[in-house]
Structure 1
Amino acid sequence: MTKRVKAAIYQAAPVPLCIDYGIERLIEQVGDAIDIGAELIAFGETFLGGYPLWLDEAPGAAIWDHKGTQALHSIILDQALRKNDPRLVPLQALVDASGIIVCVGGHERVRSTITNTQYIFRPALPPVLHRKLVPTHGERMIWGRGDGSTLEVHAADWGNLGQLICWEHWMPLVRAAMHHEGEAVHVAAWPTVREVHLVASRHYAFEGRCFVLAAGTIQDRSELLEGLARVGGDVDALALIKGMPEGQLQFGGSAIIGPDGVIIAEARADADLLIADLDLSAIGRGLAALDTDGHYSRPDVFELRIDRRARTGVANAIDGLAPRTRRKSDKPAD
Structure 2
Amino acid sequence: MPQKLTVAVAQASTQCTLAATLAALERVTRHAAARGVHLILFPEAYLGGYPRTCDFGTAVGARGAHGRDQFLEYFHAAVDLGDTPTGAGDDWVNRRLPLPRGKEYRGDGTREALEKISRETGVFIVCGVIERAGGSLYCSAIYVDPRDGALGKRRKVMPTASERLIWAQGSPSTLKAVTTELNGVRLTIGAAICWENYMPMLRQSLYSQNVNLYLAPTADARDTWLPLMRTVAGEGRTFVLSANQCVRRRELPGWITANSQDKHNGDEYICRGGSCIVGPLGEVLSEPIWEVSTDDVTDANDPNDPAMAAALSITEIDVEDCERGRLDLDVAGSYSRNDSFKLTVDGLDLNPPPV
Q: Which residue of 2 aligns with 1:135?
A: 159
SS of structure 1 residue aligned to 2:291: coil
* Contact 1:209 1:283 survives alignment (8 Å): yes
In structure 1, distance between residues paired with 2:59 and 2:275 = 29
In structure 2, distance between residues paired with 1:30 and 1:111 = 30
Q: Which residue of 2 aligns with 1:202?
A: 230
Offset of 1:300 from its aligned partner?
1.2
Q: CA RMSD in A?
A: 1.9
Q: Which residue of 2 aligns with 1:190?
A: 218
Q: Which residue of 2 aligns with 1:332?
A: none
Deviations 1:129-171 (A, max 9, x none): 1000111111111101011221122212121111110110111
Q: TM-score w.r.t. structure 2 length?
A: 0.79
Q: Which residue of 1 aligns with 2:300?
A: none
More helix by percentage: 1
Identity of aligned residues (%): 28
Label 1:50 to 1:2 Cα distance change in 2 as closer, same or farther (>3 A): same
Gaps in structure 2 of 5+ consecutive residues: 83-105, 294-310, 349-355
Q: Which residue of 1 aligns with 2:246?
A: 218
SS of structure 1 residue aligned to 2:224: helix
Tell me which moved more, 168-177 or 191-200: 191-200
In structure 1, distance between residues paired with 2:26 and 2:12 = 13
Offset of 1:29 from its aligned partner?
1.6
Label 1:137 to 1:245 Cα distance change in 2 as closer, same or farther (>3 A): farther
Q: Which residue of 2 aligns with 1:43?
A: 42
* Contact 1:193 1:214 survives alignment (8 Å): no
* Contact 1:183 1:210 survives alignment (8 Å): yes
Are 1:146 and 2:170 matched, yes or no?
Answer: yes
* Contact 1:104 1:120 survives alignment (8 Å): yes
Label 1:260 to 1:242 Cα distance change in 2 as closer, same or farther (>3 A): farther
In structure 2, distance between residues paired with 1:197 and 1:62 = 29
Deviations 1:8-27 (A, max 9, x none): 011122225x3232222211
Q: Which residue of 2 aligns with 1:23?
A: 22
> Which one of the candidate residues 219, 228, 239 is aligned to 2:258?
239
* Contact 1:13 1:219 survives alignment (8 Å): yes
Label 1:67 to 1:22 Cα distance change in 2 as closer, same or farther (>3 A): farther
Decide which structure has the larger Cα Rg and report it: 1
In structure 2, distance between residues paired with 1:217 and 1:117 = 15
Deviations 1:207-257 (A, max 9, x none): 110000111110112111xx43xxxxx5xx443356474321111111110
Label 1:128 to 1:22 Cα distance change in 2 as closer, same or farther (>3 A): same
Gaps in structure 1 of 5+ consecutive residues: 229-233, 310-334
Q: Which residue of 2 aligns with 1:33?
A: 32
Offset of 1:127 from its aligned partner?
4.0
Q: TM-score w.r.t. structure 1 length?
A: 0.83
